[in-house]
């Protein structure tokens, strides 16, 4: 791509990543969640692949490391579910209610939204976001790498 496209892509890449983290972290309060934020974050990496070429992106993020990142997300999801099974009664039991981490019980009625609430839901959102970012980015990266040489 031309230098204009490359410069603009490098300039707005951190903003898209920050917005993706925002959507993932506020998944239990506002529209969005793990999949939506992960799709936004993967689209940032896809933008870099289109602008800079797959070879240059592969130097920074190999598909093996993206695959490891994705697997960590899935593993965190399953481990949190099994902890709920062990610590309490059922799979994915919300064992964090009342704890200092994500455990605040919001007051009854309408409120502006307390970020430090939701129990295990933010952790599950982060896990799903990691999985979606790794999966979608590695899909596009492998397809761009398989296509032969390009700029």
Partner 1 sequence: MFEIALILLSAFMIASSIIAVWFKDLLASTIALAVMSLILSLYFYMLHAPDVAIAEAGVGACITTALLVIAIKNTERMEEVEE
Residues near partner 1 (CB under 8 A) are 23, 31-33, 35-36, 39-40, 42-43, 46-47, 49-50, 136, 139-140, 143-144, 147-148, 150
- Of the candidates 43, 33, 61, the one whose C-alpha atom is nearest the C-alpha of residue 127 is 33
In the complex, the smallest distance separating the C-beta of residue 97 from partner 1, rounded to whole angstroms, is 24
Cα angle value 52/55/57 (rounded, 5°): 60
Burial (CB count <10 Å: 0-12, 13-18, 19+), residue 81: middle
In the complex, the smallest distance separating the C-beta of residue 132 from partner 1, rounded to whole angstroms, is 9
Q: 10 vs 87, which CB is nearer to partner 1?
A: 10
In the complex, the smallest distance separating the C-beta of residue 105 from partner 1, rounded to whole angstroms, is 24
Task: Name residues whose C-beta falls within 8 Å of residue 85's C-beta, 6 or more positions apart in sequence.
Answer: 91, 93
Q: 45 vs 80, which CB is nearer to partner 1?
A: 45
In the complex, the smallest distance separating the C-beta of residue 67 from partner 1, rounded to whole angstroms, is 18
Q: Is 34:124 a contact under the CB 8 Å cutoff? A: yes
């Amino acid at each position: 791509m031309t230098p204009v496209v490359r410069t603009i892509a490098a300039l707005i890449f951190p903003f898209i990543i920050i917005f993706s983290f925002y959507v993932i972290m506020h998944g239990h309060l506002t529209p969005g969640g793990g999949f939506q934020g992960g799709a936004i974050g993967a689209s940032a990496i896809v933008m870099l692949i289109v602008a800079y070429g797959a070879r240059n992106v592969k130097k920074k993020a190999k598909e093996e490391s993206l695959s490891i990142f994705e697997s960590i997300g899935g593993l965190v999801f399953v481990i949190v579910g099994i902890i709920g099974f062990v610590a309490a009664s059922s799979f994915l039991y919300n064992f964090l209610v009342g704890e200092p981490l994500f455990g605040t019980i919001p007051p009854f009625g309408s409120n502006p939204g307390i970020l430090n609430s939701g129990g295990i839901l933010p952790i599950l959102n982060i896990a799903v976001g990691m999985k979606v970012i790794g999966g979608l980015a590695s899909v596009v990266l492998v397809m761009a790498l398989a296509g032969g040489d390009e700029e």
